[in-house]
Amino acid sequence: MALAPHPDGRLRGCYRPDRHLSARSRQLAFDSGGVTTNIVTVPLIAAIGIGLAASIGGRSLLRDGFGLVALCVTVP
């Protein structure tokens, strides 16, 4: 936590992760975002999406299967 001046004259606290995390920890946190798009997860999620779309009927299997993968990538 560091104090930073605010335009209205007050001091505000701001979190600076570079002061609390080592360089290796930051690299690991950045790399962990690829977990939702690895070679096992995407086919599994796509298969679940295609199965769900097939059970509803009247849905595009390809579009809905990819949409579920996109949803899982944006909200891990």
pLDDT in tens, 30-74: 455 556 666 777 777 777 777 777 787 777 777 766 677 777 766
- Answer yes or no: do 24 and 49 share one domain: no
Of all helices (H) and strands (E), which one includes residue 12? strand 11-14
- Answer yes or no: do 43 and 69 share one domain: yes
Take residue 30 and report the two structure tokens written for it.
Answer: 């950045």
- Answer yes or no: do 51 and 68 share one domain: yes
Q: How confident is the model at residue 1 (pLDDT cuts 50, 70, 90)?
A: very low
- Maximum alpha-carbon separation in the chain: 61
- Per-residue pLDDT at 52: 77
Q: Can you give the pTM of this predicted structure?
A: 0.42
Q: At what angle do helices 61-74 and 41-56 cross, to 10 degrees?
A: 130
- Answer yes or no: do 20 and 50 share one domain: no
Structural domain for 56, as ranges:
38-76
- Answer yes or no: do 54 and 28 share one domain: no
Average pLDDT of the segment spanning 6-31? 56
- Answer yes or no: do 14 and 48 share one domain: no
